[in-house]
Amino acid sequence: MLYNTLKLAHVLSIIVWIGGMVFAHFFLRPAAQSLEPPLRLRLMHDVLQRFLGAVTVAVVVVLVSGLWMIGNVARQAVQSGGSFAMPLDWTLMATLGIVMMAIFGHIRFALFRRLQRAVAASDWPAGGQAMAAIRQWVAVNLGLGVAIVVITLLL
């Protein structure tokens, strides 16, 4: 039961993360393009502040639940007298997931701070540059997230 609960938390956290990136990248950003830079950047700042907070929680849940599930399966294999070799899809999922977490950390702790400073100073060109960098890294993370889903379901 605990394994299934952790797997549910793991998957729901991934849905929040990837779904939020899809929403922001393909729906919110294009709709916000019609706004003047001060309004657009304030809106994107406020939305990202909430989203990045939720993703911070999701990243912790994904990491803890993923490590626990892998450790649990490895422990069970060893206790039953066997050995544990992590399956290829799990290895790829974990590796790409850690890369995604590192990219998220860069977005959250470097690029978003640039956006915060620019919005606070009403420096709209700097805010636009920060948003462009955030958008590029979100696109990379979205691609990695989709790749993980494909690998997990097709391997």
Tell the residue number behind the tokens 């294999």, with chain if given. 77
In tens, the pLDDT along 59-71 reads 999 999 999 999 9
Do 48 and 138 form a contact (C-beta atoms < 8 A)? no
Q: What is the pLDDT of residue 124?
A: 98
| 75/139 Cα distance (integer angstroms) | 37
Q: What is the pLDDT of residue 27?
A: 98
**Both structure tokens of 97:** 């997931």
What is the pTM (predicted TM-score) of this model?
0.95
15 CB contacts (<8 Å, ≥6 apart)?
none
DSSP state of 33: T
In tens, the pLDDT along 70-110 reads 999 999 999 999 999 999 999 999 999 999 999 999 999 99
Instruction: Characterise 110 by phi-psi region: left (phi > 0), alpha (psi -120 to 50), beta (else).
Output: alpha
Residue 155 confidence class, pLDDT cut points 50, 70, 90: confident
* Mean pLDDT on 124-137: 98
DSSP state of 80: T
Q: What is the pLDDT of residue 94?
A: 97
Q: What is the pLDDT of residue 129?
A: 98
| 16/9 Cα distance (integer angstroms) | 11
